Amino acid sequence: MAETHDNQGAGAPGGFAPPPVFFERMQRLQTAVACGTPDRVPLSLVMDLFAANIMGVSYPDFVSSVDVAGATMLGAMEKLGDVDSIQFPTYAPDVLGMLWLAPMKVPGRDLPEHSQWQMDEQVRIQREDYDKILEMGWSAWFGQYVGMYLGAAAAAGQALMEAGPRWTMEYMKKGYVIFSPLTVDHPFEHIAGGRTVKEFTLDLFQIPDKVQAVLDVIMAEKREQTRHFLRAVGQPGLGYWVGSWRTAPEFLSPRLWNRFVWPYMKELVEIVAEEGGTPVLHYDANWDREIERLKDLPARRCVLELDGKTDIFRAKKILAGHMCILGDVHPAMLTLGTVADVKAYCDRLLDEVGPDGFIMAMGCAIPPDAKFENVKAMVDSVHR
Amino acid sequence: MTTSPLAQAVGDLEEDKAIVLVADKLAKGETALDILEELQAGMNIVGTRFEEGEYFLSELIYSADIFKKAGLPLQEELKNSVQSSYGTLVLGTVKNDIHDFGKDIVATVMSSNGIKVIDLGVNVEHQAFVDAIKESGATLVGMSCLLTTVFDDMKDAIAALKAAGLRDQVTVLIGGGPVDQATADYVGADYYCKTAQDGVIAAKKVLGVN
């Protein structure tokens, strides 16, 4: 199974000329990624159910059709004003099952209509599965696992691969850049999701050699699949999430992190960069401890995307000139804060993290219940 | 004060050694309550190392598992002992949120620090918190969430405690991915706990445990 199975299809087929504003925005983003100073700080958003809320679309309709999702998100972009980019053009939360090897519960199907989608995390990978992976290889084992648990996730992945390029083109027609529509997943995230964090953590202490052997088997296949995938997509500069959720340093001691997380993370980032992509380090949770380590990644090629838990101001001091930073208006501020709170925080971001090598954004994703005026304040902040 | 070999083994995450030492102590006729105290002293070492940045969540999870396994042979005797916990915490992920990871970690870490946990699970109705407090006499309530969309459910659950006349009787601790101090202020909680260990520290403070 390819690791690049998450959000959306890649490119926009040719055959039309995007409006001039598209190129302005693209230039702005590329300058920021290269740690330069654009004409103004660019914006890049991640949103799903927030778009449904502000466009008056029901959650069940949004999550069950990639076309409804695409149209809704595009409508939200227009409603928000002058936004340079969105990270992916449409969405289907079921696809997250392919990352964390756990089915999703979605509104209207598994949850009440106005609920946020959530992961159904249970112990589905047993310790015996490690032996099976070592014996069968990752792809063969994963194919069986998908058959057992991830039918909806696989279908969502297919739908997104089909709809992604189509919707990318629709955004381009209106001048929006699709910034990072694809993902390259860390082997640890797969196993930690299917095994649950608690059980997987115990495995790291109790059967470390076997866990490492499994991660190595997965990585051996990912190494090749990732290169082939990027070559097939063939769009230099396109962003690929190399994300971190359960692999955050906040959760693991250095001894474990140095063995089970960083070598794989570093290699995946390097592969994406070598193949011409832009690694987008979508790092949730607190990365303070390991920010220095990011200086080992290719200079002026990656984007560090923070969610409000890492000290972004300190990160800037350490990574200035080496890595573009994207973020990080905290979800709780967008939900509970005031316009004045958001404005003050964005001003600080612009002053201390910008204007060079910085992309203004929410932390992680705009929460469904964010206040429109707060998100608008974040969007407008770059025009001060 | 010297640290006992059993406490040290738990603190150093030496699983096999801790299990053997408990068996030895039982064989020598030491009481389950005394042994439990040593295990809890080991968890204090873990807590200190966590606060000092030597240990992380991974070590909290593993130490709690060691505590549970090593303490298994004590359970029968402890059932009959009068006082084996410092206090009681009613814990749950609030209504409309089914995430259990953070809540489960808090449950194991609290338990292994001498706090009895009544785990109500996920998607907990507001009234269930009220009922569990009335039934158990708990003085601590822990509420968790991973979604900003359920902040109002957390607020309503705390309001339900107030409506039931229980608010002054309990201390409310909250935590979870998107939660911060502003959230605690918004929902009317007493403590925002950034980590599970923060929860232990707050709980012990409230219960007057050194």
Interface of B with A in 33-72 (CB under 8 A): 54-59, 61-62, 65
Domain ranges in chain B are: 5-79, 87-207
B18 has pLDDT over 70: yes
Instruction: For B15, name the nearest residue in chain A, comparing CA atoms only.
Output: A206
Q: What angle do CA A201, A215, A255 make, to 5 degrees?
A: 50
Query: What phi and psi values does residue A363 have, to the nearest 5 degrees?
Result: -80, 125
Class of domain B5-79 as given by CATH: mainly alpha
3-state helix, strand, coil in chain B (%, to 5): 55, 10, 30
CA–CA distance, A47 with A135 (Å, rounded to integer): 40
Q: What is the pLDDT of residue A10?
A: 41
B128 has pLDDT over 60: yes
Question: Exposed/middle/buried for B19, CB within 10 Å: 0-12, 13-18, 19+?
Answer: middle
The mean pLDDT of chain B is: 92
> What's the gap in Å between the CA of B110 and the closest CA on chain A?
15
pLDDT tens for A334-375 read: 999 999 999 999 999 999 999 999 999 999 999 999 999 999
B5-79 and B87-207 share one CATH topology? no
Beta bridge partners of B171: B140
Please state, for a pLDDT cut of 70, what percent of chain A lies above it. 96
Please, what are the domains in chain A? 20-381 (3.20.20.210)
Question: Exposed/middle/buried for B180, CB within 10 Å: 0-12, 13-18, 19+?
Answer: buried
Q: What is the pLDDT of residue A327?
A: 96
Does the distance separating the beta carbons of B182 and A333 come in below 8 Å? Answer: yes
Q: How confident is the model at residue B35 (pLDDT cuts 50, 70, 90)?
A: very high
Does the distance separating the beta carbons of B151 and A336 come in below 8 Å? Answer: yes
Q: What is the pLDDT of residue A4?
A: 38
Range A10-23 average pLDDT: 75
CA–CA distance, A40 with B11 (Å, rounded to integer): 52
Q: How confident is the model at residue A12 (pLDDT cuts 50, 70, 90)?
A: very low
Mutate to test the interface with A, among B57, B105, B150, B155 (most CBs of A within 10 A): B57
What token pair was written down for A210?
Answer: 């076997």
Class of domain B87-207 as given by CATH: alpha beta
Query: What is the ipTM metric for this complex?
Result: 0.90
Residues of B in contact with A112 (CB under 8 A): 96
Burial per residue of B67-85, b for 16 or more beta-carbon CB atoms within 10 angstroms, e otherwise? beebbeebeeeeeeeeebb
Range A30-39 average pLDDT: 98
Q: What is the pLDDT of residue B83?
A: 62
Range B177-191 average pLDDT: 94
Residues of A in contact with B111 (CB under 8 A): none
Q: How confident is the model at residue B76 (pLDDT cuts 50, 70, 90)?
A: confident
